[in-house]
Structure 1
Amino acid sequence: MSIEIKVPSVGESITEVQIGAWHAEEGKWVAQDSEIVELETDKATFDVPAPLDGNIVEILKKPGETASVGEVIGYLEEAERPAGIDEPEPAKTPPKSEAASAPSKAKEATSNSEERVMPAAARVMAEKGIKSSDIAGTGPGGRILKEDVLNHQGSAASDNGTFREEEIVPMSPIRKKIAERLVEAQSNAALLTTFNEVDMSAVMDLRSQYKEMFLKKYDVKLGFMSFFVKAVVDALNLFPQVNAEIRGTDLVFRNYYDIGIAVGGGKGLVVPILRNAERLSFAEIELKISDFGQRARNNKISLDELQGGTFTITNGGVYGSLLSTPIVNPPQSGVLGMHGIQERPVAIDGQVVIRPMMYIALTYDHRVVDGREAVVFLKRIKEALEEPTRMLMEV
């Protein structure tokens, strides 16, 4: 008897998904609860598990096609485990001594895995039978881009003339949603951006002083983002308009701070939320952000973790950005942009000195936040980062 593989309900507002990769082929046996197909919505990517042991007898929807919630996308026929297929070993929790090195090990493994190949590049490589080991990636972190594959193929085909090709790829639900929200923000809000710069010496000195003790105690590195989250919460507490939103003809103010942290994922940029950031310690912030980053790369961020948020922080500096104008995530009224740290000459007490400087940018909805408030809000973040003890003393 065949069992229907259906698109499960994944959220009240979601009625359609896009089929991603099938992890199983027709005629192949799968174990119960193993991941058989990847589904993508406009907010997140998730996998559908096999309801029981059996063989995939038919696949109705191919990768890239859309399907409605409840629609049948394939059939599974119950069958016992074939001889020669071992039962998977249960996952083991690494001892604490290994936990501290997990992020670095994961990073090392990622650089040598399929995740360093971007999706468009992977499709061309599969079509042309090209191995990732044959291509030098030029993208961030050595990632292989589609252009790298085409250049490689073009070089190989240079004796037969110029290699020119176009590829039409449907926009993913996440990319469509990002496009819609960016246009919505530009069309429906009065956006302005104000800039400042921060001397990062004090933060860098604190990180250098406590990084080993912090790592030993919490099994996570002390990064810059926890300082920025703390500084943002401090500034939002003084300027609640930046944490507010327009709802109809009303302004909604909050006494809590749910901070969205933009992280790069396997399917694009996602913004999981640090709920009640005002209650979190430095260690809790770093642990949550590290967890977000790892799960975003594997498309394991849940829908609930992406919904809501009262303010957003995005860090273009990790990609080499020196200065940018971030776009507000509606219905929020503000977003802080971090950028790269560069040693630059600055004048202090009449002397020219070299300091590690970072440009920061605040884009805000002028319907909610006045220019003076925005400027002083950003100045407060600058002061909190240049003198971190001010946040502890609340002065």
Structure 2
Amino acid sequence: MRKEQAADTFRAFRNRNYTLFFAGQSVSQIGTWMQRTAVIWVIYSLTHSAAMIGFTVFAQQFPSFLLSLAGGVVADRYSRYRILLITQTASMLQAVLLAVLVLSGHHVIWEILSLSAILGVINAFDVPARQPMVHEMVDNKEDLANAISLNSAMVNLARLVGPALSGIVLQQFGAGICFIINALSFLAVITSLLLMHFAPFSPPAIKKKITAELAEGLRYLKQTRSITILIFLLACLSLLILPYDTMIPVFAKTIFEGNAATYGYLTGAIGLGALGGTFFLASAKRGADLRKFLLGSIVVLGIGLILFSRIAYFPVALPFAIIIGIGSITPMAASITVIQTEAAIHMRGRVMSYVAMAYFGMMPMGSLLIGSISQKIGAQLTMFCQGILAILIALLFGKLLYKKPIKETTDYSSIN
């Protein structure tokens, strides 16, 4: 029975392209989290400002907000496979430039922020292409929800390993080595893409103006209430709750009186919880109500934030960091699974661009907001308030998601 459950949990690996993608992304994501951890630590070490950490996140993610809709149109018009090859190569070059800059010893804050903004531009085209491409990698569509969940689990495994490794490397060798490791990690995902086999790409017969395609995507969202509510939920979480991570360096260095390794272990503990949450999601039975997973995980996140904010002793804080991790990534994983499963095939790129816009648009503004508030009232009180807000958001959107919908008569297959 246990063997059958394990086979069911990892059933998406029956698809060759997906297995290659999973293996390559696993290595690359570890490097990405190492770089992200190192950038935030370098900025905080230079400025000792939570607000500046928020501005760093803003610099990286706001360009993605500005360009994500265009990225969605590009993902629906052109080969997502070729788009990924381009974006992953560009991300590798960005990591190389960051490594050269830091290792030269002449880096200043504005240069790091500029390279972070360049990565945000790359991600604006990478995310809308990469997320829907999972559909093309999975031959048996019954494995799709499992593949999306395993993809989230892989990201969270990297979120566990990457920061912990980064903390050690930062202490022993410095941030530049973290950036070099990230640059090398992109070779794994690029190699996995080159080994994949796809049917020849067939471009859309009729290409419309970008503005027309964007308007078409917006009309589609207006006609699919359930997807729209999920996108608004992600926007609220990204603005008010998920930017809690801008305060983790403050807890590590100021409240727990630690160093880069302390920060790495805290972020790794959050990653461990997130990994457990997504494996739990991946093990969900076919036909399970993922919206209940979504709402439950937001409540868990709220409880974790409240409890973590009250602790001033590092070893005791680690279990609560794990609880935060369980609740922090599962809402995104569950929402993306539901959205990609329910969205029309020809609309997935644009729908995912709106999802990316909700995340990349609200997250940078939320990071600025939370960073500024924590500078005034302290990181502990700010995080406590975020925990209360998370529980209130779960209650509000629980009513909206399970409100009896008005009967819809629109034939979505006619939208083209």
Normalised to the residue count of structure 1, the TM-score between the two structures is 0.24
Normalised to the residue count of structure 2, the TM-score between the two structures is 0.23
Task: Identify the structure with the greater strand proportion.
Answer: 1
Task: Identify the structure with the greater helix proportion.
Answer: 2
Higher relative contact order (CA 8 A, sep 6+): 2
